[in-house]
């Protein structure tokens, strides 16, 4: 059974449907991507999983447990962390306070220290700037902070919402190499939302394609990469 299982998920904003019955799954240790154009419903899907938006129908199960109507803070406690679109950094707090915030629900001081070391090894830049107010970091550094902070919760699944947004190609590559390494070397389960289809197909084993609130295609990334229709509409080749 899949670690994260979404079945017939529906979300409405007012009367307007944003998700019209979305189903997909993420296996333990797998990296899965969800790609699609602006307004397809990718962020809404992640917000539904994290308990930020109300569901109009469908179910979400995580590790066999129904989490469809659980409050957001409990979902984090169960092991689902999200790196928000636009990073969601607390720009009024320092880098260190942001990182500690990621471990908000944890009580094991020693484990927190260890994980902090791990985050700093992953992103040395953050250690150099730990007492700086986070709002003054560059976009790329903020993305590193957002990922590092999410890891501080020791999640079982990491949800990433457009980590490439607004970053230079070089930084995007660094970030995606880190994401891929997290998945391959540390076995972190990842659900990645992207508009940058190329990067998503590179990082994820499987990919779902979303259009106006529905999943229209899915498959192994390496197969989708060579599909003519996809090359045309998503990779611009």
**Total Cβ atoms within 10 A of residue 180:** 16
Does position 214 interact with Mg ion (CB under 5 A)? The reply is no
The number of CA neighbours under 13 Å toward the Cβ of 141 is 19
90 binds, among ligand ATP, Mg ion, another protein, none (CB under 5 to 8 A by kind): another protein
Does position 69 interact with another protein (CB under 8 A)? The reply is no
Calculate ∠ Cα 215-217-218, nearest 5°. Answer: 100
Does position 15 interact with ligand ATP (CB under 6 A)? The reply is no
Integer Cα distance of 42 and 45 in angstroms: 5
Q: One symbol per residue from 176 to 205: x for binding ligand ATP (CB under 6 A), - otherwise; what is it?
A: -------------------x----------
Task: Provide the terminal-to-terminal Cα distance of the chain, rounded to the nearest Å.
Answer: 36
Of the pair 38, 226, the CB lying nearest ligand ATP is at: 38
Instruction: Mention every residue, 6+ apart, whose C-beta is less than 8 A from residue 181.
Output: none
Does position 127 interact with ligand ATP (CB under 6 A)? The reply is no
Of the pair 53, 215, the CB lying nearest another protein is at: 53
Of the pair 85, 214, the CB lying nearest ligand ATP is at: 85
Integer Cα distance of 184 and 178 in angstroms: 10
Integer Cα distance of 39 and 52 in angstroms: 17
Pair 160, 129: CB distance under 8 Å: no
Integer Cα distance of 49 and 212 in angstroms: 18
73 binds, among Mg ion, ligand ATP, another protein, none (CB under 5 to 8 A by kind): another protein
Which residues in 88-127 contact another protein (CB under 8 A)? Answer: 88-93, 97, 100-102, 104-105
Binding site for ligand ATP (CB under 6 A): 13, 18, 36, 38-44, 85, 195
Note the residues at the interface with another protein (CB under 8 A).
47, 50-52, 71-73, 76-77, 81-82, 84, 86, 88-93, 97, 100-102, 104-105, 135, 139, 142, 149, 153, 166
């Amino acid at each position: 059974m899949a670690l994260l299982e979404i079945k017939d998920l529906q979300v409405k904003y007012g009367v307007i449907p944003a998700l019209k019955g979305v189903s997909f799954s993420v296996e333990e240790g797998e990296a899965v991507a969800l790609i699609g154009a602006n307004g397809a419903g990718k962020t809404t899907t992640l917000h539904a999983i994290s308990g930020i938006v109300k569901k109009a129908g469908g179910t979400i199960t995580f590790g066999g447990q129904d989490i469809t109507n659980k409050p957001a803070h409990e979902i984090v406690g169960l092991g689902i962390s999200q790196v928000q679109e636009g990073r969601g950094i607390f720009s009024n707090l320092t880098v260190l306070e942001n990182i500690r915030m990621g471990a908000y629900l944890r009580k094991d001081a020693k484990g927190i220290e260890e994980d902090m070391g791990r985050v700093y090894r992953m992103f040395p830049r953050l250690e150099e700037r730990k007492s700086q107010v986070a709002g003054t970091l560059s976009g790329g550094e903020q993305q590193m902070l957002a990922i590092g902070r999410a890891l501080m919760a020791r999640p079982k699944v990491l949800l990433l919402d457009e980590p490439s947004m607004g970053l230079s190609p070089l930084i995007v590559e660094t970030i995606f190499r880190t994401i891929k390494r997290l998945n391959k070397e540390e076995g972190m389960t990842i659900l990645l939302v992207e508009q940058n289809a190329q990067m998503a197909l590179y990082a994820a084993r499987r990919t779902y394609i979303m259009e106006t609130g529905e999943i229209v295609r899915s498959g192994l990334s390496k197969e989708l990469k060579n599909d003519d229709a996809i090359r045309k509409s998503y990779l611009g080749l």
